[in-house]
Amino acid sequence: MQKSIVFTFLLFFTIKIVTAQPGTDLAIGQWKQHLPFTGGIYVTQSDEQVFYATKYALLVIDKADRALEQVTKVEGLSRVGVSLVKYNKGSEVLMVVFDDGAIDLISDEGNMTLLGVPQSSVILGEKRINDVFMANDSIAFIAANFGLTTLNVKKGLFPNTIGIPVEVRSVVIYQNAIYVTTEEGVYTIDLGAGLNIDDFSNWDWLGQSAGFPVAYEAGAMTVYNGEMHLDVNDSLYVYNGNMAEFVHYEEGFSIKYLSADGQHLLAGMTCDASCKGKVLVFDEDNNIREIAASCVNVPLYGVEAQDGSIWFADLSSGFKVEEGEAGACVPINVNSYRSILAYDIAVGDGQVWVASGGLDLTLSALFRIEGFSSVIDGKWTQFALTNEPALSGISDFLDIKIHPSNGKIYAGAFLDALVEYDPVTEEFVVFNETNSTLQLGEIDVTRSRVAGMAFDEANNLWICNNEAPEPISVLKADGTWERFDLTCTLENGTLEITIDDFGNKWIVSNSGGQGVIVFNEGDMDVAGDDQCIVLNTSNTVLPTNDISSIQVDLDGAVWVGTKMGAVVFQCDPFGECNGTRPFVEVDGFGANLLEDQDVTAIGIDGANRKWFGTQNGIFVMSPEGNSQFANFTEENSPLFSNSISDIAFDYNNGEAWIGTSRGLISYRSETTLGGNFHDSNVLVFPNPVRPEYDGPIAIKGLAQDATVKITDVSGQLVYETEALGGQAIWNARDYNDRKVNTGVYLVFATSSNSSNPDVVVAKILVVN
């Protein structure tokens, strides 16, 4: 019996993971992927498992009990973006091909990563793999746009590369000869003839004398029932080693794939955008049946298992299996986020909401229709025009907020409305120029474009009405509306807004070179008391007027991310307010904070540390921004991409939700948000600490930035630290980094509001 390869693989890569604390399934320092698993683009199988390539990762399905495993970069893949998978049953190796040409070879020994197929001078630029044929338990033949290469899947070596002057679409070994299909037809070479296969002049082209047309293209190919079956000019042909014969043609369809893992030949057929594809099943006598339409839409690949069930990779039909010959089509539902887009993230009350829109480099709409989504109690739900009639015609959601008191959701769509959603009643309200103060744009005169939003202390929702004549609107807590002009500037391309502790609205526009606009409406019921100012390089220390992000920290300071680093403002913007550029020294080199980075996102963790998202990953800085704690990149962490769109924190458990250009991911930081006083029941986790555990021990529920002392029962001081926000971390070691002995340890914590050093807030049992 073959091994369940990916289960072993997952164990290999997750052995370091520690037990999670209550309220989250993540341990401190652990990452979690939130990639879409909406459909397979390729499928392969072992005797026990089915392996689907999705656009971004792998889905592994156990044939017996249909248990699912989502395998991504977090679980050990080398990168994001899968194009093809092939399983070698002889060596029990799963070959994963990525869209950048890299290859992972996964076995029970772990994961061997090959950074790319051999270089070729035949095709310049991108190297693309089209097909893989497993010749034996060691050698895979790889058909690619640059020709043909072989790969030893056990050793990770490329023994041969044949520079065929046209793209190779498919490859098989049949009757001890290699056959490849191209746009020029079929080429072959006899492996027993003693010829140099690397020299393409030794290859033969199959023409009329072998039963093929005078001029033809050839595509998909496989060996079934002792004969080679292949696509010739969109028709199915069979070739016995001497002569080719026509088998079948489906009017209006092209052959996408041919597969013969089981008792039948599968032929996946595609057509133009106006019709659905189909899958035909041929038996040994060329009798044909068609797979039910409920299983097929845009067929990409399929495999037949030993029991006759057929597993389909389909572009838009999710994951489907036909159980038994002519059986029912069974969907396999996967709980996942349905997009890689995470333009804005809102976290609160145990919920996470994600806006799945976006803008291009010119800050123009991308017409993203994925809407917005939520994950509540581990279940993902999507709200989009494809499944919610109320959202018809609305796309490119750029911002999302949770109402601080009633829990309603507000999502701003660049195209083009403010959407209010009540999770309790499941009702939608759409606000636009017809029922609110939102206005049509001065350039885009058909749309009332909504971008950034922010709630103030009175629960009024302030809205960037992009390109409107009066570009700031407010939905007041009483349900009424008002709008404002920005009198200090002609700029109306408002894009992002945040509100400081004094009620000032800090606004980023989509006009490069503007700087930061600060607005205060004064008394909303009094006309003429508004204040407005533009902060830029002429009146502050801003290094550039190109602003990318803005955020208020836990102390009320305003952090502005520019295309040349970050600046902090801790002053009255309508008085003398130059701002500060923190100076940072890293590895002996000093510079202004991130002065060479485009700061695209700013997150504030429970300890008031700054998480700066850039085009080069995430920089975790001290509360003052003058020292660096960590730098996460796609090269040194599971981050899917170095391009960061947003960072938002769950202050209850320290989980950071991170949007990247290649998908949503989260990370459990060591910080939570503390209160003014310790919780009545300070939580320690894990507790007891067992011998096999060697990870961090979290002490949660402390007052903000409390001083923490850990002693043995005799009062001997073992360790002292400060809480990161409302949570302290201990590794069960003393000051000399020696693991402490078995016993009970006492936790004492003091803060500015709790100064009694004699009060034990928690006890920890360590067992060695």
The pLDDT tens digits of the residues spanning 102-117 come to: 999 999 989 999 986 7
**H helix runs in 371-437, sequence order:** none
Give me the mean pLDDT over the 322-339 stretch.
86
Q: Which token pair is 164?
A: 């065929």
pLDDT value at 120 more than 90: no
For residue 660, the cross-strand partners are: 644, 663
Q: What's residue 324's pLDDT?
A: 67
Residue with tokens 């397979």: 40
Closest C-alpha among 400, 397, 396 to residue 348: 400
Give CA angle at 105 (115, 14), nearest 5°: 100
Backbone phi, then psi, for 14, in 5-degree steps?
-115, 10
Amino acid letter, 335:
N
Q: Which one-letter DSSP state was computed for residue 215?
A: S
- List the one residue out of 296, 340, 337 whose CA is nearest residue 317: 296
- Mark 7-17 as b/e (b = at least 16 C-beta within 10 Å): bebbebbeeee
pLDDT-based confidence at residue 10 (cuts at 50, 70, 90): very low
pLDDT given for residue 118 in this prediction? 63
* DSSP sequence for 348-368: ETTEEEEE---B-TTS-B---
Q: Is 23 exposed, middle or buried (0-12, 13-18, 19+ CB in 10 A)?
A: middle
Rounded distance between C-alpha atoms, residue 503 and residue 506, angstroms: 9
85-96 pLDDT tens trace? 999 999 999 999
Phi, psi angle pair for 151, to nearest 5°? -135, 130
Q: Evaluate if residue 101 carries a pLDDT over 50.
A: yes
pLDDT digits (tens, 9 = 90+) for 271-289: 987 789 999 999 999 999 9
The CB density around residue 273, as the number of other CB atoms within 10 Å, is: 5
Instruction: Taking residues 207-230, report their average pLDDT.
Output: 97
Using CA atoms, how far residue 130 sits from 143, 224, 765, in Å, is 6, 20, 57
Read off the pLDDT of residues 342-369 as tens digits, 9 standing for 90 and up. Answer: 999 999 989 999 999 999 988 889 999 9
Query: Which CATH number is associated with domain 683-766?
Result: 2.60.40.4070
Q: What is the pLDDT of residues 538-572, one digit of tens each?
A: 999 999 999 999 999 999 999 999 999 999 999 99
In the chain, what are the helix, strand and coil shares in percent, each to the nearest 5? Answer: 5, 45, 50
Q: Smallest Cα–Cα separation from 496: which of 359, 620, 352? A: 359
CATH 2.130.10.10 fits 344-594, yes or no: yes
Intervals of CATH 2.60.40.4070 along the chain: 683-766
Identify which of 558, 622, 617 has the alpha carbon closest to the alpha carbon of residue 586.
622
For residue 127, pLDDT over 50 is answered with yes
Mean pLDDT of 679-687: 91
Give CA 195 to chain center in angstroms.
48
Q: Stretch 6-23: mean pLDDT, rounded?
A: 41
Give the sign of the dihedral formed by CA 50, CA 56, CA 57, CA 60. negative
Q: Do you know the residue count of the chain?
A: 768
- Quote the pLDDT of residue 290: 94
| Residue type for position 84 | L
Number of neighbours of residue 435 by Cβ within 10 angstroms: 11
- Give Cβ neighbours of residue 62 (< 8 Å, ≥ 6 apart): 4, 48, 49, 68
Mean of the per-residue pLDDT values of the chain: 92
Per-residue pLDDT band for 16 (boundaries 50, 70, 90) equals: very low
Query: Residues spanned by CATH 2.130.10.10 within the chain?
Result: 344-594
Listed range (308-312, 392-396, 637-641, 748-752) with the worst mean pLDDT? 748-752
Position 7 pLDDT exceeds 60: no
Share of the chain above pLDDT 70, in %: 94
Q: Rounded to whole angstroms, how far apart are CA atoms 661 and 356? A: 11
Which parts of 81-146 are beta strand (E)?
Answer: 82-88, 93-98, 103-107, 110-114, 129-134, 139-144
pLDDT bracket for residue 431 (50, 70, 90): very high
pLDDT of residue 2: 52
User: Residue 252: phi, psi to the nearest 5?
Assistant: 85, 5
How confident is residue 17, by pLDDT bands cut at 50, 70 and 90?
very low
pLDDT over 50 at 303, yes or no: yes
Nearest by Cα to 661 from 37, 80, 40, 75: 80
Mean pLDDT of 131-136: 96
Using a pLDDT cut of 90, give the percent of the chain over it: 82
Higher pLDDT, 167 or 272: 167
The pLDDT of residue 119 is 57
CA distances from 543 to 48, 562, 592, 594 (A): 59, 8, 10, 11
- Which of 403, 389, 315, 394 is closest to 356 using CA atoms? 394
Residue indicated by tokens 């509360």 = 623
- Per-residue pLDDT at 241 exceeds 60: yes
Confidence of residue 8 (pLDDT cuts 50, 70, 90): very low
